[in-house]
Amino acid sequence: MRQFGLICIVFLTLLGSCTDKVTKPEKLIEYVNPFIGTDGPGNTYPGATVPFGMVQLSPDIGIPGWDRIAGYYYQDSIISGFSHMHLPGTGAGDLYDILVMPTNSKFSKRIKENSFKPFSSFSHNKETASPGYYSVDLLDYEIKAELTATKRTGVHRYTFPKDDASQINIDLGYALNWDKPMDTYINVIDDTTIEGYRKSKGWAKDQRVYFVIKLSKPFESYQVFKNNSLTTSPVTAVNTRIVLNYKTEEAEQIVLKTGVSSASIEGAHKSLTIEALDFNFDEIRFKAEEIWENELQKIQISTADTTKKHIFYTMLYQSMLAPTLLSDYNSNYKGANDSIAKAVDFDRYDTFSLWDTYRAAHPLYTILHPERTSDMIQSLLAHYKETGLLPVWSMQGNETNMMIGYHAVPVIVDAYFKGIKNFDSELAFKACVASATDNSRQIDEYMELGYVPVGEHHENWSVSKTLEYAYDDWCIAQFAKALGKTEAYNTFLKRSENWKNVYDAQSTFMRPKLKNGEFVKEFIPKEYSPYFCESNAWQYFWSVQHNVEGLTKIIGGNDLFEKKLDTMFSLNPLPEDKLPIFSTGMIGQYAHGNEPSHHVAYLYNYIEKPWKTQELVREILETQYKNEPNGHCGNEDCGQMSSWYVFSALGFYPVNPAQGVYAFGSPNVDAASLNLENGNIFTVEAKNNSSENIYIQSIELNGKIIEQNYITHKEIMNGGKLIFTMGNLPIKNSKNTMALSSKVYN
């Protein structure tokens, strides 16, 4: 009997173990590697944030330079503190607001390279990053630093050794790269509370961060500095900082939490009160992880390749690091006209890297985050109401005017046609027209001549501007047509053909044109010149996403179009060619490291050669993304580089981002389920998928074989099942080679 009882216990134990294995849900955050892009050209940060959050609490090396444009560079060996705001992979050196650094008596060395700020060495062996969490051991001080975040607060936990001279340094004068403090303020309220602001300029001309800091342990004393001279609280100056003094016991922990607002100290107080009322670091971290897990669960993929899974979920994670919240819990924010504005019934977002993100990131948001997309559209329109124009590249309630085009237009038009709600379509149309008829950024010459002429400015970018403006004009034309505005439709449809005005039949390239109508005489297509925005003539030739048929016709038909595409991907740079910093991820003249190339591999779909698209897309997926710090072939650019991967791994991509149509490529996951906000589930399955079986043999949608090589947004959002059957040989004569057309609409 005793033996039988023992057998039962063993059986139940094994059963319980097996049940745990079966029922325990997979945590997708475990596949995210925030270090991807922190080495090489990615320019990402590894710190703690939540999806689209206002706070990006991350370590700063403290030394300027292109490699450290996001504050951190994987190859470095020191950390100078943890600041609360960072840009995700933009190549722009701004933010780094409110630097915090714990220290003690164990180390006092200072170096010129980081402006003589406190620092410590660190090792990647004692460093961890995951969604919503970052930790590192500051080796010289024997202090463990941990970071987590809510939407509008950054939370630090420092584990100190025993020391009678432990300190926490809070530095508002700290600046890096383009950032420069203009006015800072510190006020000690009591021995656990500090408030203030940091106003700065850099890439964005008028940045304002109001903050309230609360500490879990009262400080015994403090020193406050004004321009490096000891003073008293409160203090206002360009350069202020405060040092908080503690006596700590072995393994004693102090939690510091910082609430922020772009509008007021009151708003910063409210951030803390609502989002981080207590000092329970672990609970706040758990909530951040839970938020990330819920967002990542919107796409559940299946693949036997763990590395692919790490890359996919890291890319999905990085697609949600921008745009970022700008409004506080009072709905107030720093407006683009430098006033304090109010967001009524929506959250105001900023950090709109539109030249990059209109291509794939915003189309991805319309699938995965339609409710948040509505707030983003209202944010773009708020910028218009504040300035009279839609944003070009806006950040922290400022227009930076970086890059080209008026690419808020395709984002708005795409959202309108996809049924994104809660914004005024008439106001949106008015805003689109205003941005397209403004006299700045050579739009006046574009309207007069039908192209942007060569100019004296070193970033004239005349050919690129012409092509980008023409695409945006096509978007406005479609918007006008839908709203019954016939005259505007005809006007902007005609303008959308302005790309033809820079096409040179002799060279078969888009060629820079003088104001007198003549093409420039010296012209080498693969050279990088001021006429093309971060690209050359090869890379920008294809930027006619709205009229691929017209582009094919003007070059002489499908055969010549195919030949030019083939050459694009095979004309490798020579050793003596001078490649600029943004020409990375090269396959021939194709540069995956920069956005103008991102749709080009999919263009074979338009000339009934989809197997060539399948070859190239799979090559890009497998060679240009890695699960390592140097895992991005170019700037991540606020979600665009990562969104390209997410779309392409699923097997489709928005060549024309405002068309509501996705061209098929070559899925590199075996299956995926998209859990949509409307309650529907859209699944993708790639049968017989492998590294050799890269070619689509047949496509089935909801049980029916389909002949086109695209899927519409509506078909995805309705839910259903898309099945790719894959093989190792291209199918060149199947009905599935039916060409995608620019005239297909969602």
Q: Which of 390, 359, 356 is nearest to 376 (CA)?
A: 390
In a domain, 57, yes or no: yes
475 φ, ψ (degrees, to nearest 5): -60, -45
For the cut 60, the answer to whether the pLDDT of residue 18 exceeds it is no
Interval 311-333 mean pLDDT: 98
**Residues 221 and 231 occupy one common structural domain:** yes
Whole-structure pTM value: 0.96
For the cut 50, the answer to whether the pLDDT of residue 217 exceeds it is yes
**Residues 292 and 190 occupy one common structural domain:** yes
Which pair of tokens denotes residue 734?
């199947």
Residue 459 banded pLDDT, cuts 50, 70, 90: confident
The CA-atom distances, in angstroms, between 509 and each of 17, 503, 537 are 65, 6, 7
Indicate left, alpha or beta for 531 from its phi (over 0: left) and psi (-120 to 50: alpha).
alpha
In a domain, 462, yes or no: no
Q: Which of 724, 623, 715 is nearest to 664 (CA)?
A: 724
In a domain, 274, yes or no: yes
In a domain, 431, yes or no: no
In a domain, 411, yes or no: no
Q: Collapse the DSSP code of 297 into the 3-class scheme (helix H, G, I; strand E, B; otherwise coil) and give the result.
A: coil
Nearest-5° Cα angle at 637, 633 to 642: 65
Interval 210-220 mean pLDDT: 98
DSSP 558-600: HHHHHHHHHHHTT-PPPTT----TT--SEETTEETTSGGGTTG
Q: Which residues contact residue 247 at a Cβ distance below 8 angstroms, ignoring those fewer than 6 apart?
A: 163, 164, 165, 166, 220
Q: What is the pLDDT of residues 615-652, one digit of tens each?
A: 999 999 999 999 999 999 999 999 999 999 999 999 99
Domain boundary among 279, 296, 313: 296
The CA-atom distances, in angstroms, between 339 and each of 179, 269, 386, 390, 395 are 21, 20, 9, 17, 15
Residue 738 banded pLDDT, cuts 50, 70, 90: low
Q: Percentage of residues in the chain with pLDDT exceeding 90?
A: 93
Domain boundary among 263, 296, 329: 296
Whether 671 contacts 684, CB under 8 Å: yes
pLDDT of amino acid 736: 55
The CA-atom distances, in angstroms, between 300 and each of 113, 213, 308, 611, 725 are 45, 38, 13, 27, 20
**Residues 264 and 225 occupy one common structural domain:** yes
Residue 638's CATH number = 3.30.2080.10
Give the domain extent around 255: 28-296
Q: What is the pLDDT of residues 64-110, one digit of tens each?
A: 999 999 999 999 999 999 999 999 999 899 999 999 999 999 999 99
353/376 Cα distance (integer angstroms)? 12
Helix crossing, 548-555 with 558-568: angle to 10°? 100
The CA-atom distances, in angstroms, between 581 and each of 594, 604, 629 are 10, 28, 18
Which pair of tokens denotes residue 154?
């950054």
pLDDT of amino acid 734: 62
pLDDT of amino acid 21: 43
Nearest-Å Rg of the Cα atoms of the chain is 27
pLDDT of amino acid 2: 41
What average pLDDT is seen over the chain?
95
721/724 Cα distance (integer angstroms)? 10
Q: Which of 449, 441, 450, 463 is nearest to 520 (CA)?
A: 463
pLDDT of amino acid 24: 65
Residue 429 banded pLDDT, cuts 50, 70, 90: very high
**Residues 162 and 302 occupy one common structural domain:** no
Alpha-carbon 596 to chain mean position: 16
**Residues 163 and 195 occupy one common structural domain:** yes
**Residues 110 and 238 occupy one common structural domain:** yes
DSSP state at residue 498: G
DSSP 311-352: HHHHHHHHTTS-SEE---TTSEEE-TTSSEEE-SSS--EE-E
**Residues 736 and 593 occupy one common structural domain:** yes
pLDDT of amino acid 47: 98
**Residues 282 and 317 occupy one common structural domain:** no
Q: Which residue's structure tokens are 């134990």?
A: 13
Interval 315-328 mean pLDDT: 98
Whether 94 contacts 175, CB under 8 Å: no
Count CA atoms within 13 Å of residue 260 on its CB side: 29
**Residues 82 and 206 occupy one common structural domain:** yes
**Residues 313 and 210 occupy one common structural domain:** no
Residue 195's CATH number = 2.70.98.10
Nearest-5° Cα angle at 249, 247 to 253: 90
Q: What is the pLDDT of residues 386-395, one digit of tens each?
A: 999 999 999 9
Interval 418-428 mean pLDDT: 96
Q: Which of 64, 101, 72, 77 is nearest to 88 (CA)?
A: 72
Number of independent structural domains in the chain: 2
**Residues 317 and 271 occupy one common structural domain:** no
Interval 689-694 mean pLDDT: 97
In a domain, 564, yes or no: yes
In a domain, 412, yes or no: no
Q: Give the helix/strand (H/E) hosting 186.
A: strand 180-190
Domain boundary among 296, 331, 358: 296
Q: Which residues contact residue 626 at a Cβ distance below 8 angstroms, ignoring those fewer than 6 apart?
A: 36, 311
In a domain, 159, yes or no: yes
Q: Which residues contact residue 509 at a Cβ distance below 8 angstroms, ignoring those fewer than 6 apart?
A: 503, 523, 525, 537, 538, 541
For the cut 60, the answer to whether the pLDDT of residue 11 exceeds it is no
Q: What is the pLDDT of residues 253-304, one digit of tens each?
A: 999 999 999 999 999 999 999 999 999 999 999 999 999 999 999 999 999 9
Q: Which residues contact residue 440 at a Cβ distance below 8 angstroms, ignoring those fewer than 6 apart?
A: none
DSSP state at residue 524: -
**Residues 190 and 122 occupy one common structural domain:** yes
Q: What is the pLDDT of residues 536-551, one digit of tens each?
A: 999 999 999 999 999 9
